[in-house]
Amino acid sequence: MLLIGACYALPPKVYLNIPFLCQAPYGNWAEPWQDACEEAAVIMAMAWVKGYQVTRGSGNQEILNLVAFQQKQYGGHLDLTAKECVKLIKDYYKFDNVELRENFTIEDIKSELAGGMVVIAPMAGRMLQNPYYTPPGPAYHYIVFKGYDERSGEFITNDAGTRRGKDFRYKYQVAYNAIHDWTGDKKTIGRGRKAIIVIK
């Protein structure tokens, strides 16, 4: 495991071949898929760490399974804070090698990726200004960080909020600025604490 703040030379580019899943695998953006960005992000990350592929069919069914699990165990399919997303991973997948991190920098995210760790982050989605979102874009969103490219100064992500989200790139500062945890109120999106989820 790489320690945040560790002093070492990062490689100029990192790319983790994490499978992609759009949160609306069949293009149906009604519920529960409209609010399934957390589920899609978790499915992608767990597929990487457990070493299996995700198809449109298997991914769609897994989204439904995760939604049903939350409805039964938590009383509903709700927007999840980073802490709640960690709990979902632990409860549903029985997987404990996952941590909630705060007080991190752009370099810290890159360090985790360089160590082969998957990073999931809650975002103020509209701050990402992704041109493929249906305007005005999601107020609250989750994306998967799967790499970075020093030459272009960009994070490489899987963004489940668009079918064009595989390997979608965001400038370092744009992605970092958009990281905001769920506050419980969409009126305060963009004012949440910064948090990331690191899956080992």
Q: Which of 109-123, 144-158, 181-195 has the lowest mean pLDDT?
A: 181-195
pLDDT in tens, 82-129: 999 999 999 999 999 999 999 999 999 999 999 999 999 999 999 999
What local confidence, expressed as pLDDT, does residue 184 receive?
79
- Alpha-carbon span 139 to 125, nearest angstrom: 5
- 43-60 pLDDT, tens digit per residue, is 999 999 999 999 999 999
Would you state the pLDDT for residue 180?
A: 96
Tokens of 182: 């769920």
CATH topology of domain 13-199: Cathepsin B; Chain A (3.90.70)
> If you average pLDDT over residues 173-186, what whole number do you get?
91
Task: Report whether 14 contacts 110 (CB < 8 A).
Answer: yes
Is the sign of the CA dihedral 153, 157, 159, 165 positive or negative? positive
d(CA 158, CA 197): 15
Q: Enumerate residues 6+ apart whose C-beta is below 8 A from 104.
A: 4, 194, 196
Strand 13-15 versus strand 168-171 pairing type? unpaired
pTM: 0.93
**Per-residue pLDDT reduced to its tens digit, 2-29:** 444 445 689 999 999 999 999 999 999 9
Percent of the chain with pLDDT over 90: 88
Mean pLDDT of the chain: 94
